[in-house]
Amino acid sequence: MISLKEYKKLRELLHGSDEDFEVGCENIKNMKEINSVTKMMFAKSLMFGRRQTFCEKFNLDDHAIKEWNEMFKELDNTIGIVPQDIIEWEVHQQMAPVFKKTWAFIKDVKIELDWKI
């Protein structure tokens, strides 16, 4: 199973230069412990053309990438496949900036996921 540290490093590559993106994709292809759910989370973190390119490389349907509310219902059933700390970190990475940009008076946001839903 992939660790949070490995996930962060790969995500950083995917969000870097075009060359970094290609290196990240190659690393993901060579890691047996990265499953389709983890690949979907990487895809969810990417935007526009880069998301589409990533999905093509890994045979993912980019139209199947859902909003977090729907995706979380499926992710909740995958615990053990994708560690909770990775899911929590990714949700925070994508949601906290929305709050901070929407309301300038917010300095920080702590997001706690309800795993009992």
**Domain contains 42:** yes
For residues 41-51, give the mean pLDDT. 92
Residue 108 lies in a domain: no
- The reply to whether 36 falls in a domain is yes
The predicted-structure confidence for 61-109, as pLDDT tens digits, reads as follows: 878 787 777 777 766 565 556 778 888 898 889 888 888 889 989 888 8
Q: How many domains does the chain have?
A: 1
pLDDT-above-90 percentage for the chain:
39
What is the DSSP annotation of 60-100?
--GGG---HHHHHHHHHTTBTTB-HHHHHHHHHHHHHHHHH
Range of the domain at 87: 4-102
Judge whether 76 lies within some domain.
yes
pLDDT of residue 28: 96
Residue 20 in domain: yes
Neighbours of 40 (CB within 10 A): 23
Does residue 114 fall inside a structural domain? no
Category of 83 on φ-ψ map: left (φ > 0), alpha (ψ -120 to 50) or beta: beta
Give the pTM: 0.81
